[in-house]
Structures are given as structure tokens and as C-alpha cells.
Structure 1
């Protein structure tokens, strides 16, 4: 049996292969693919008519570009040596992919909330993407270079401190770790920031299927339907609706028995195609309205196409063949508590999908409005949440030993984040130039 001491030695041995200070380096390789070419290749099998929305959203700012460019950064991370200390990666751990959601017990938790790119890989890839996003956000908020640097270092320091703390705990104690949303309030110092945090919690608690019923649906000719808002929300059409009904039973089979029983108490009412996110635009995504006891007992489910993770071409094969299964299994592994309706199945033309609740007390922070102190606090919380997620799936003792008691790792990753933020600005300019030249079609403000 491997002892904690053995696991610690494994982490320290990784320093010999990849010294902690080496993480500071970001120099684009001479054969680095053009960022726009990577995005266009990614869009080849997406809904062509929606791609201008994707490029338009990504062109809005360097942070918006970073959000949509997980494939670009995955290739960049893969061009560098890595520790070999594997965890279940989020794969897209930027600041806006953390947020609030409800546990099955109706507690409001803070955690990772996007898993489209989840895949096993070296822990530092998620840490570097998160730190880079912090720097890009700080710069867009007008923070000074020194404050942007500190924001990134606070993020990684929180990750290291949390991982070292969890390395001292037992297996069940780590598994039961969670971050209650109320932890947001002590992190804010000013009255204005506290009011903003309290408002975020209040909005999240109100974001339920019942609230969505009034906001997302209307009654037409005596029948409730999802409100159409082309091109962002459009009717599913007879063939799509029929296909969704047909694959519903396949999705149902991926749930546990008691959840299948619960789902069987709802009936299908309406479906619509929906455009979501930034990087996800162009993927097939549907919104389904179900009702339970009566018309005032709604359930909204989101059905989203699952594709190959952007990490897969750079890493060994993962344990799941079905992309929807990969997303669901990764989410269940990384989140402290999971959506009870999370499931997967294959749809028309063999495309993979996963299902989840659309609204379940979900909310996110307004990063764009954060002052330096608020961003530091929020970034620390994200670093803490990421370490908690990684500790569930990877060897936390080896990772903690690699990180060590000194601040070497966070100082190095901070330097990387600053350099990669510059790269993101350059790549964003490349995209906007391609749009201006008519090479890439874009629909801004959609």
C-alpha cells in the first residue's frame, strides 16, 4: 500500500522534472498555430449560422476572447513540460466558470460550474488558466499592473494553501468538503461590496424553474410555450421536438432509480433551440419545459451537445468513450454536490448530449464591476474551490508536496499569467483584425 510519505516523495520528485520556478515561462513556440485558425477548425462541425454570434461575442474584449478560446490555450499549455500530477481538470477554469448553485438539500454552494472541457490532466493547467483569467479581468477593470499581479498571486496562493490543508485530512473528510455561499460575505470589506454580494445571493435563490416560467414562457392559444427570441431562442421544430421526445428515455436510463421515478412524474410541454455562452455558441443546445403536478410545477432542462474536449488531442486517452458521459462524470467528480437531473445520451446522427437543470438557484459574480480588493477576495475563493475539486480526483498529498511551503509556485504562475494575458490581448487583436478584413464573419452585440 502506498503511504502518505510515498505520495509526498512522488510530488517532490516531480520538481526534478518540472521545477516550480519553470512555470513562470511563456514563450510562444515558433510553430504555434494561428489562434483564429484554431477557432475556425473548432467550428467546422457546429451550426454555421450561429458562428458569427460566437466570433462577435469573443471580439468584445480580451476577456471575452479568453472565455471562448479554451482550445487555443489548451494547445499552448500542451507545448510546455508538465508535472504529470494528474487530476480531473475542469479544462476551462476561468473566473466566470465559478458560481453559485443549489445542492439537492437546497443549500446554496459556491463551486466550479462549467464542465464541457473536463478531462484528466496535469493539475497546473487549470491553475494557469484561472490565474491568466484573473489578470485579464483585472486589466479590463482598470487595475494597476501591481494590483493585477497581486490578484493572480492571491489566486494561486489560495490554491496552494487549500491543497496543503486538504492533504492533511482523511479521504471522507476531503470528499465532504464544500464551500457554502455564505462564505462570500466575510470576504468583502466595504459596505458597497457587501451589498453587492448579498444581492448576488438573493438573485441566485430566486432563480428557480418557477421564476423561469414567468420569464421564459408565454401562453399562446391556451398552450404554454417557450418565448421565441431569434436567433438566440427559436422553436425546436417538429423533427427536433420528436427527436427530443424519443431520446428522453435514453437520458432517463442514465439517472439513478429514485431520480427516474421523480422524472416520470413530469410531462413534456415544449422545446426550443437556445444559444448559450461564448465558446459554446454553435453547439446544438435545447431548452425543454416539463410540468409536474400542474402547470405551476415546472421543470426546465437544458440539453447540450457534448464534443471532444479541447484537452483530448494533447493528453492520453480518458476513461469515457461517450462525450456526454465524460462531461457528466467529470462534473459529478469535481462538484461538491451535483444536479439530480444530470445525465447523458446519444441523439440524432449519433451526436452526444448531456442534460441538466437550466435554473437551480444558479448565479455568478459581476467580475467586471469588481474593485481590486473585491477581485482579490473573489479570486482567492476561486483558487480555494479549484483546489477542493482537484483534491477529490487527484493525489492531493503529491500535489501538496510539489507545491511546498514556500511561495515559489504562485510567484512563477503569476509571471506566466501576466505573460499569457499579453498573449490573449494579441490573439484578441488578431481576431478583431480578421473580422474587420471580412475574413471572419461576426455579429456583434447578439
Structure 2
């Protein structure tokens, strides 16, 4: 008799019908009603926001931590950008729909923008994934809506205008998700938001300063490539291209063991790429390395720029290397399936973005930290929030809400999410109410940071 296999069969995938998925969405309202999302009141045992920020210090370069706090002090909106850990802690104590997507994890309006696809089209999408992890879809929506209220207040808009910006972001998310719920799978997967489409929409909806600013920003983004970065960040020293010195923002590492370590890590990073991209990078040589300060919340984490040259000194490729720590969401959700945190970031980015940088990769450094790699500039650009008027901010809210819906629809069950939110405005109103209340909390937390600096508890530069 033939031997019988003892290897268990893989579990069969379940494919519920559209009706069943819609019912799952409506049933989730029993777990967390839509109106429940309006709630926000800090609990008596809420952790000190400054203590939460300080808990991240050991994983950062100590000499740069004061710069992080200095940038966060600039405004409540700057504080929001740098305090994803604080909001993650608070969101974990809010009603949970149980409907899981791949979260951005730090979904505020400045983490959207344009960038070049591999085909060199200019796309609009999410562009920051340091905190990405699977979790309840409404966490991203709440953080996005809150960011519009905080930004509007920072621009001295009225309470009605601030509320409307958040409301438009959520409305756009809900209505776009309903459209995606009707799409075929491949139709959704290939869907993307191109800059040319945005410009056409702008011409139809608005005129004057807002449309002109958008066209100017996109034109600037198209010029942001390796050649422009080469002119801005490098100079010739003894006939060789070298990064300029602008401490603490840009510090060349042109000699010593530190440089050699990063050169070795460049070789290990290449192994994370698929074969064709690995072979393409083999045509470049490392010309120089520098440490670079980036962002607001990321300040203090280890970040480097690598100058690569191809056929000659006018054939540059600049890569950015960023330290990847555990997501701030992880204490409140399931751990990442990826042991390497850089791989976690890259996998989340590929799932959420319509198209991604061909040089995305990761490695573990000799210092024990995980890193992810990407192009430093590839036609990247984002809106200058302080320059937007009320109408411009509302328009941007609609664009960001739609982009977030597309990202969530790719990574979660769009039919279930759409059914949960429904056709009415109950979800929109609840999230908007939360956003206003949490914007108040953000302003209080910003004041707490300022008080901690004044008392000498922490140092800001």
C-alpha cells in the first residue's frame, strides 16, 4: 500500500460573498458603534506625554534629541507630527471596530505628497511608513482628521473652518471607500492618483492662488531629483564629489571605521533587492557618506545619505538610510510578522502605496539597529500647510481622505469597511467630534512639553 502523507494540508482560504462581507461590517457596529468614535476624554491614569516622548530617547542619538524637542515646540501641529507615540497610546483606549487594515500609523496631513513612480509618473499618496502595522482602520482616520483641525487652528482659521476641514477629510474617505467597494480586485489594485488628475480637478473646482500654488508645488517636485540634490548637498573637494558640512543637519563621514561599516552595510542591503535592481546598483560605486537630520518625529534616529556615482561624476544616485525601531503601535496591537523592523516598514509601504521606489530595501546594521533604504529624492514634494487658506485646506483634506481610503482598500476589506461606515454621516460626525476634542488634547500636550523645557526637565535646541 502507498504510504500516506502526514504533512497537514494548508488551511483553505475563505472567500465570503459580498453580502456576507457587508453583514460583517454592519455587525461590527455592535462591537463599536459609529457614534462611539466621537468619545475622547483622557483617563485618570493617562501617561504623561513628555514621559512617553522621553521613553524613545534611548534609541536615539543623544546629541540630536534637543533638536527634536525644539522642532516640536514650534506649534501644536509640529508637536502632533512628532508625537505619534502619544496618540497611539490614546487611540488604544478608544472604541475599536475590529476591522483591520495595514495602518500608516502616523497618518497626518504632512505625511502625504507626490513622488515619482518607477514609470516616472508623478503620483500622490502616503509617504511615511515608520510606524506601519496592521490595526483598526479608524485609527488612521482619527489621526488624519485631527491633523486637519490642529493645522487649521495653527493657521488661525475659525472653529467652523477647522471643523469643516476634518469633516471633508472623513467624508472623502467614506465616499471613496464606497466607490472602491464596487470595484473589481485588479481595478482597485491598479488604481492610483496621478498629479495630472489632481491638476485637472483643481482647474474645475478652484481658481486663482490655490490652483497656482498647487501647480508650482508639483513643478518643484518634478525638479527634485538626484541631480538637484547633488548641487544642493555636495561640492568638489580635491576633484572629488563630497557632501558639504552643515552640522548638525548634515555631517560628512568621509573617513574612519564608521564609513567602512556603512559601506559594508550597503553590500548587505543590496541582497534584500530583487535581482534586476541588485544588478542595477552593482553599476554604482559609493562616493561619500553623511549623517543627515530628517523630519520632526524622526529627529535623533540614525539617518544617513549615501552618494553613489555611475558612469561619471554627473551620474548620481542618492540613497537615504533610516533607522527603523519598533512601531509605536506595537505595544497595543499584535507584533509585526517581520523580525527586521526595516523590512516591516518596506512591506507596509509596498502594500499601502500604489507604486513604490525601486530601491526600497533593508538590513540589520553592525550596531544592532535595523535600517531601511530608499532614494533620498525622487520628485518628492508635499503641501506647505502654513500657506493654505481655508478653501485650499479643505481641498487638500478631500485629496488626503481619498488617498487614505485607497491605501486601506488595498490592504483591508473595503466592502466591510464601507458597510460599517454606511451611507449617512454618522461616522463623519463622530470622527470630526473626536478630532476637535483630540486637537484640544494636543494643544494641552504641547503646553506640557513647553513647561517641561521651562522647568529644565528636558532640553530643547
Q: What residue number does 1:192 align with?
A: 209
Give the Cα separation in 1 of the matches to 2:235 and 2:404: 39
Mapped partners of 1:125, 1:240: distance in 2: 39
> 1:54: how far off?
0.2
Structure 1 stretches of 5 or more lacking a match? none
> Residue in 2 aligned with 1:115?
129
Deviations 1:100-133 (A, max 9, x none): 1000000000000000000000000000000000
Partner secondary structure for residue 380 of structure 2: coil
Q: Residue 312 of structure 1: which of 330, 336, 343 is its match?
A: 330
Residue 26 of structure 1, CA deviation: 0.4
Structure 1 CA distance for aligned equivalents of residues 137 and 59 of structure 2: 30
Q: Report how far residue 349 of structure 1 moved.
A: 2.4
Q: Does residue 1:7 correspond to 2:21, yes or no? A: yes
Render the CA deviation track for 1:198-246: whole Å, top value 9, x for unaligned.
1101000000001111111000111110111001111225222111111
Q: CA deviation at 1:80?
A: 1.5
Query: Residue in 2 aligned with 1:281?
Result: 299
Q: Find out whether 1:63 has 2:77 as its counterpart.
A: yes
With 178-187 and 69-78 compared, the bigger mean Cα shift is at 178-187
The alignment status of 1:34 with 2:52, answered yes or no, reads no
For structure 2, list consecutive stretches of 5 or more residues without a partner in the other structure. 1-14
Residues 60-139 of structure 1 correspond to what in structure 2 (within 5 A)?
Answer: 60-139=74-153
Where 2:295 maps in the other structure, the secondary structure is: coil
Shift >3 Å, 4+ stretches = none
1:163 pairs with 2:180: no
Q: 5 Å matches for 1:322-361?
A: 322-361=340-379
1:346 deviation in Å?
Answer: 0.4
Matched, 1:374 2:392: yes
3-state SS of paired residue (2:241): strand
Match of 1:18 among 22, 32, 40: 32
Answer with 316-325 or 305-314: which moved more: 316-325
1:232 match: 249
Secondary structure class of the residue paired with 2:162: helix
How many angstroms apart in 1 are the aligned matches of 2:296 and 2:385?
A: 16
Bigger Rg over Cα: 2
Residue 4 of structure 1, CA deviation: 1.1
Distance 1:319 1:175 in 2: 23
In 2: Cα distance, 1:108 partner to 1:391 partner = 21
Query: C-alpha displacement at 1:86, in angstroms?
Result: 0.4
Alpha-carbon distance, 1:260 to partner:
0.7
Distance in 2 between residues matched to 1:415 and 1:394, nearest whole Å: 25
Alignment partners' CA distance in 2, 1:293 and 1:160: 49
What's the RMSD between the two structures over aligned residues? 0.8
Aligned-pair CA distance for 1:436: 1.2
Task: Name the structure 2 match of 1:216.
Answer: 233
Match of 1:409 in 2: 427
1:435 matched to 2:453: yes
Q: Return the alpha-carbon distance in structure 2 between the equivalents of residues 239 and 13 of structure 1.
A: 59
Is residue 182 of structure 1 aligned with residue 182 of structure 2? Answer: no
- Between the aligned partners of 1:246 and 1:361, the Cα distance in structure 2 is 28
Alignment of 1:391-410 (within 5 A): 391-410=409-428
> Equivalents in 2 of 1:196, 1:45: separation in Å?
39
Q: 1: distance between equivalents of 2:16 and 2:206?
A: 44
Aligned pair count reads 443
Q: TM-score, normalised by structure 1?
A: 0.98
Tell me the TM-score normalised to structure 2 length: 0.95
2:12 maps to what in 1? none
| Alignment correspondent of 2:4 | none
CA distance in 1, matches of 2:147, 2:405: 16
Aligned counterparts of 2:59 and 2:128: Cα–Cα separation in 1: 21
Match of 1:363 among 367, 377, 381: 381
Q: Separation in 1 of the partners of 2:310 and 2:239? A: 18
